[in-house]
Amino acid sequence: MSVLVTGGAGYIGSHVARLLGTDAIIVDDFSAGIETRVRGLVCEQLDIASADAQHRLEALMRKHSVTAVVHLAARKKVGESVEQPEWYYQQNIGGMANLLAAMRSAGVMNFVFSSSAATYGMPDVESVSEDLDCRPINPYGETKLIGEWMSRDAAKAWGLRHVNLRYFNVAGAGWPELADSAVANLIPIVFAALKAGEKPKVFGADYPTPDGSCIRDYVHVLDLAKAHVAALEYLRSDTRPHSTFNVGSGSGSSVFEVIDVIREVTGQNFEVDVLPGRAGDPPRLCAQVSRIEKTLGWRTEATLTDIVRSAWQAIS
Ligand code: WQD
């Protein structure tokens, strides 16, 4: 029952691979992934957007009798996608096209796709349902929505069975050695500032929210990895519809609330610099999670404090 995990040496991918164990076949170009995270697993260094990727992926799927693919390999920096849209399309859409073509040739019919809340753009709602119109506001979010369309079209053309998982804000560490090494999101950025003896920055305190800072739905990376396992089990055992699921806690936390939890966990009563809000930041982005709870039987187990504590312990 081998499962090919693209981006499997990445922060999220390595947590999925850890849960799958030796069933996981890792594909990663190590541009962001770290090989030591997947020591002991079958692992192939491969850029899925490269010219020979389709052929190499098909051969790997046949060699290891792969029955499902979990696809996480993608460029995922919003600002970078705005500056280099062509590269994002070439990497994220081109890579996915190679992967789906290889799956079709190798007869691999089960697919879990790492999508994102960025597909929603800036919805003006308390919480987001999967039925909401998706209006992404940056090329990164657009590549994730197009990826969902590609899965849908493959399902129509040759019967691919797929699940799209729209991640909300992922953080924490299931195992210290698998911690997020990128300093690209709120919690690791604040930690890096504290380690450097600098004041963390809060982007905006005049949003239409209770404390003026942006609200996000934080989910522990281990809970997220478990959602992938639940999606694989669903694909193997169920034919019900609903192939797209929000993956979040269903409740929101503001930036100031996260800062307070970081103060509590680190024991540091630090000050912050409040700066103007970032362009493109929605005031609130929280998931409705009834569909994944009802269909996959999955829900978050970790609290925001668990998330922050696990991330802090991993770098302390
Ligand atoms: C969270 C909040 C910032 C840093 C991004 C992607 C999204 C998904 C998750 C992949 C915002 C504020 C941040 C800082 C701050 N990735 N902030 N000070 O922007 O919600 O989502 O990551 O799927 O697609 O867009 O995450 O962690 O950057 O920001 O005040 O130093 O924290 O303004 O309100 P975001 P984030």
CA distance 276 to 135: 24
pLDDT tens-digit series, residues 63-113:
999 999 999 999 999 999 999 999 999 999 999 999 999 999 999 999 999
Report the DSSP beta bridge partners of residue 201. 273
Beta strands in the chain (DSSP E): 2-6, 24-28, 42-45, 66-71, 110-116, 161-167, 169-171, 201-203, 215-216, 218-220, 244-247, 253-254, 273-275, 284-285
Residue 30 backbone class (left: φ over 0; alpha: ψ -120 to 50; beta: rest): left
State in Å: Cα 61 to ligand 1 middle.
35
pTM of structure: 0.97
Question: Can you list the residues of the chain whose pLDDT is less than 50?
Answer: none
State in Å: Cα 168 to ligand 1 middle.
10
> Given this model, what pLDDT does residue 126 score?
87
> Given this model, what pLDDT does residue 241 score?
65
Q: Which of 11, 88, 120, 140 is catalytic?
A: 140
Whose C-alpha lies nearest to ligand 1, atom 29?
186
Nearest atom in ligand 1 to the alpha carbon of residue 213 is: 34
State in Å: Cα 132 to ligand 1 middle.
21
State in Å: Cα 141 to ligand 1 middle.
13
CA distance 88 to 56: 22
Q: Is 116 in the pocket of ligand 1 (CB under 6 A)?
A: yes
Nearest atom in ligand 1 to the alpha carbon of residue 118 is: 24
State in Å: Cα 186 to ligand 1 middle.
6
Whose C-alpha lies nearest to ligand 1, atom 33?
203
Whose C-alpha lies nearest to ligand 1, atom 30?
202
Q: Is 76 in the pocket of ligand 1 (CB under 6 A)?
A: yes
**Is residue 140 annotated as part of the catalytic site, yes or no?**
yes
Q: Is 78 in the pocket of ligand 1 (CB under 6 A)?
A: yes
CA distance 48 to 36: 20
Domains of the chain (ranges plus CATH)? 3-170+218-247 (3.40.50.720), 172-216+250-315 (3.90.25.10)
Q: Which helix (H) or strand (E) element contains residue 191?
A: helix 186-195
Q: Which amino acid is at 315?
A: I
Query: Looking at beta carbons, which pairs linking 294-297 to residues 24 or more positions away fall under 8 Å?
Result: 295/234, 295/240, 295/242, 295/245, 296/227, 296/230, 296/231, 296/233, 296/234, 296/245, 297/230
